[in-house]
């Protein structure tokens, strides 16, 4: 099974939306069909579980 988030970063699938912000660790997008003001923050690196995220990445969420 292909990860929907990885497909989104490749420009494929239903989750593709305008990129609002990005750096070397995360991509922030807004999906127009979502809720107003709702942003999606995704890791650039595939991480099946929260525990798989690098500690450097988790600092973004503090």
The predicted-structure confidence for 16-28, as pLDDT tens digits, reads as follows 778 889 998 888 8
Instruction: Give mean pLDDT, residues 31-59.
Output: 80
CA distance 38 to 29: 9
| Overall average pLDDT of the 41-55 stretch | 83
Contacts 24+ apart (CB under 8 A), 42-46: 42/5, 42/8, 42/9, 43/5, 44/9, 46/3, 46/5, 46/6
Number of domains in the chain: 1
Res. 42 pLDDT band, cuts 50 70 90: confident
At 33, the pLDDT band (50, 70, 90 cuts) reads low
Give the structural domain span for 51: 4-61
User: Reduced to 3 DSSP states, what percent helix, strand and coil does the chain have, rounded to the nearest 5?
Assistant: 25, 20, 55
């Amino acid at each position: 099974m292909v990860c929907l988030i990885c497909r989104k970063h490749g420009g494929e699938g239903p989750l593709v939306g305008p990129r609002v912000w990005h750096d070397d660790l995360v991509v922030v997008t807004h999906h127009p069909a979502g809720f107003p003001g709702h942003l999606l923050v995704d890791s650039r690196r595939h991480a099946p579980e929260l525990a798989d995220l690098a500690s450097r990445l988790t600092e973004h969420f503090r």
